[in-house]
Chains A and B, each alone.
Chain A
Amino acid sequence: GENVEQHPSTLSVQEGDSAVIKCTYSDSASNYFPWYKQELGKGPQLIIDIRSNVGEKKDQRIAVTLNKTAKHFSLHITETQPEDSAVYFCAASRGNFNKFYFGSGTKLNVKP
Chain B
Amino acid sequence: GAVVSQHPSWVICKSGTSVKIECRSLDFQATTMFWYRQFPKQSLMLMATSNEGSKATYEQGVEKDKFLINHASLTLSTLTVTSAHPEDSSFYICSAPTPLAGIYEQYFGPGTRLTVT
Chain A positions within 8 Å of B, measured between CB atoms, are: 32, 34, 36, 41-46, 49, 51, 89, 93, 95-97, 99-105
Contacts and interface: CB of A to CB of B under 8 A. Distances in A.
Contacts of B106: 34, 100
A97 B45 CA distance: 17
Interface string B79-111: 000000000000101010100000111111111
Contacts of A34: 104-106
Interface residues of B, number: 24
Given A89-B43, A99-B49, A103-B43, A41 B111 contact: yes
B74 interface: no
B29 to A, nearest CB: 13
B25 interface: no
B72 interface: no
B44 interface: yes
Contact of A43 (B45, B49, B103, B110): B110
